[in-house]
Structure 1
């Protein structure tokens, strides 16, 4: 009788393990590894794939979500988060720093807000979804940013409010000469 009980116990254990292993597909893999038929990866291309789960998932270099190396901005670029809705010709914004989250690196405004003026010929872009942007007059960007901060239901497609983070560049006088909304799901 004991061999039969052991066999049944072993089968039950294997069935439980098998069902938990098959419940995850490549899109559910917390480490971004994919063995399925799709060649797409949820892991950004600048992030190395871990070789195995790490017990150091919360160390300072990787952060709590095991995001890998923090993103590096191109020279002259700066991420900011508006502190108040932009007004004609100016923006009060906090420097935005990357933080590792379960959804990858996400920028968040930190510290005291700084006051920026816009240059005469500002290049402005709004996010239209994953990786897409549309050039708009800077006044439209001001209205969009303000709506996202105060009345997100006023924002119409193809635009959305996606984190309130903007990539800016400054001219030699310290004025914003380009501003682009950063899309994040």
Structure 2
């Protein structure tokens, strides 16, 4: 009966060996093994692990951006300086004179431009006669820092013609784009005309 003992011993050894092979060791539960297994499983399914594959922050040279390489947000553009056109007094209008004679002048409506600050002619020229009762006329006297100096109408007409012909006007006056603040009477004739100061030509 020696053979059955040998068989029993062999069976016992085989069972012990199988138990040792199927046992769980502490190395199997390490985080690196679990992470590797998870990454391998995701790769098999064609998925990227967001924790292991974050290329959004990687720079062109393969590194990560530092405080010096992160672009600062662009500063907002500075607002353009505002330009406010002068508002004529009630009953007044600004015109740009294009021709002047002893009995009438020809002028166009004016609009204010900011660069440079001056009036520019717009619209069609219109002929304006002078009021029969007389006309109050003023010119800008820049040399004496006076914005309105009373003059005779014929002196204003001479001044206008010099500026229109691009001649130097009589002292102490200058040319300012031939813009004039005008007041008309009930018949549409000029009863008041005042030179408007702007950028000197």
TM range (shorter): 0.5 to 0.7
Greater fraction of residues in strand: 1
CA distance in 1, matches of 2:187, 2:127: 13
Match of 2:130 in 1: 118
1:144 pairs with 2:159:
yes
CA distance in 2, matches of 1:94, 1:72: 17
* 1:1-185 to 2 correspondences below 5 Å: 55-57=78-80, 66-84=81-99, 86-101=100-115, 103=116, 105-120=117-132, 121-129=134-142, 130-153=145-168, 155-185=169-199
CA distance in 2, matches of 1:168, 1:151: 22
Mapped contact 2:108–2:121 kept (Cα < 8 A): yes
Match of 2:31 in 1: none
Distance 1:131 1:78, change over 3 A: farther
CA distance in 2, matches of 1:89, 1:169: 16
CA distance in 2, matches of 1:111, 1:77: 18
CA distance in 2, matches of 1:106, 1:151: 17
Which 5+ residue runs of structure 1 have no aligned equivalent? 1-52, 58-65
Computed over aligned residues only, the root mean square deviation of the Cα atoms, in angstroms, reads 1.8
Mapped contact 1:70–1:98 kept (Cα < 8 A): yes
Deviations 1:78-100 (A, max 9, x none): 1111122x011101100111112
CA distance in 2, matches of 1:54, 1:124: 46
Mapped contact 1:127–1:159 kept (Cα < 8 A): yes
Q: Per-residue deviation at 1:150?
A: 0.7
Q: Per-residue deviation at 1:152?
A: 1.7
Deviations 1:88-146 (A, max 9, x none): 11011001111121x4x421111110111110210001110155221111011011000
